Structure 1
Amino acid sequence: MTSRMTRPVARRGRLSAAGPDVRLLPLSRRTPRTAKAVSGVGPVRTCVGCRATGPRSALLRVVVATDAAGVPALVVDAGRRMPGRGAWLHPDPGCLETAERRRALGRALRNAGLLDVSAVRRYVAEQQGMSGPGQIPAS
């Protein structure tokens, strides 16, 4: 009982005993450590098709919406502001096909049923057609 009274108790916690360099470590294992991510590119998202990461501005957001008949369908969220869970995808037909083949869109959007992908496919085809003069438009 006397030892408790004579020993001062630090109220600062365990980090103060670890030293000043502890706070310079990354916050978690998932924190990007690349110079590109640290330089302020912006939010980084993962494509559900190819699983590559990229800036939010380079990927396409897709959400589930119901049509007039009540059937769920994928819709392109061009403004990136629609409510609900979204999935991110490169505006590339290859990534869309890979995501469909792997059934990644349904998993990412947490939707168990089949989804109509025709609106997303049309949007990606239009983007490929407008991508530049050197490209052959998709038909």
Structure 2
Amino acid sequence: MSNIPGDLKFLSSHEWIRVESDGTVTVGISDHAQDLLGDIVFVELPEVGQSIDAESDAAIVESVKAASDVYSPLSGEVIEVNALLEDQPEIVNSSPYEDGWFYKLNPTNMNELENLLSPEDYSEACED
């Protein structure tokens, strides 16, 4: 099984979320997801200022194999996007949990965290 950091929460659709010390959250796709997708060639990010509902589509990732929607683990306002991905989408393949993050949110309902999978539960879901 791919590397799964213990400080993240996950959607079963392979998005991860990290709660930052300032209360914002960072969103990306898992190592497992990037591995399934193969070489990533394009990422379409949400707009800064855009409001996103939990589990609604927020971004698109395209690989040599397929295009896939990226869903938001929490509701909130997009406060930053990873501009590096515009010119270097392959960073998601090499660093899905660090440099390859997609966007940051100012969450509107932290209770939605309770609906997400722990790293252990996500790992089990990937094995099924």
Q: TM-score, normalised by structure 2?
A: 0.25
Larger Rg: 1
Q: TM-score, normalised by structure 1?
A: 0.24
Give the number of the structure with larger relative contact order, counting CA–CA contacts within 8 Å between residues 6 or more apart.
Answer: 2
The answer to which structure has the higher strand fraction is 2
The answer to which structure has the higher helix fraction is 1
